[in-house]
Amino acid sequence: MPLPTVIVPGYLESAIAYRQLQQSLQNSGFPTVTVPLRRRDWIVTLGGRSVTPILQQLDNTVKQVLQQYNTSQINLIGHSAGGWISRIYLGEKPYLGRNDVQPSLWEAHPLVATLITLGTPHMSQERWTRWNLDFVNNNYPGAFYKNVRYVCVAGKTIFGEKRRGCWLAYSSYQLTCGKGNTWGDGITPIEAAHLEGAENIVIEGIKHSPRSPQIWYGSPEALKVWVQYLV
């Protein structure tokens, strides 16, 4: 039986947005649970503040899944910010967010067999995001833990340009990697979505958000590309 999988929602997203992905994975034989976040749970993290409340819910979910399935490991799927938050969760360094009183320590890498990140911005030039991402990249650069399989999935859909229909992508890419004229999924540029030492994948024609009316990372067409890494 495949290991159970935990989905970590992206920034300002709720678990509801991942219901279809969760069902698709279950239909494919992968027991799957989504961290039960609500959109309002992210409010306390705005402005670059601590993501400890999200990490706590992730940890609670992982522990419940380990017990429910009587297993010692799970797979993690982190969409967007859920990917770099998962990298904090794996780590052995105390995490002290900007508004935390006490540091938190998760040390979850022995519990995770595979981490799949979907459209995750693993870098940022934006000042509110950089504190958390600098913590991740300074302490756990690249595919840091050798006992964890890192799979980073990027989308090649929109080339950022200063013209109608491409402005949002251009601005988002520039805030993320420092240049707007590059390819990405409309929010995250390819170069930011990959990690050194990981198994890095590019899928053409997919959009960033699970709320997109078009194909996104969790759509059946994209899922068939990366679901093999959960085996």
| Cα→Cα distances 186→81, 121, 164, 180, Å | 15, 12, 13, 11
Whether the CB-CB separation of 19 and 213 falls below 8 Å is answered with no
Largest CA distance in the chain: 53
Which CATH number characterizes residue 14's domain?
Answer: 3.40.50.1820
Question: Count of domains in the chain?
Answer: 1
Name beta bridge partners: 150.
Answer: 115
121-169 confidence digits (pLDDT tens): 999 998 888 999 999 999 999 999 999 999 999 999 999 999 988 899 9
* DSSP codes of every residue in 172-195: HHHHHHS-SSSEESSSSBHHHH--
Q: Which of these, 225, 224, 212, lies nearest to 185 by C-alpha position?
A: 212
Range of the domain at 193: 5-230
Convert the pLDDT of each residue in 64-106 to its tens digit.
Answer: 999 999 999 999 999 999 999 999 999 999 999 888 889 999 9
SS (H, E, C) 34-75: ECCCCHHHHHHHHHHCCCHHHHHHHHHHHHHHHHHCCCCCEE
Q: In the sheet where 149-156 sits, what is the strand order?
A: 32-34, 5-8, 74-79, 112-118, 149-156, 199-204
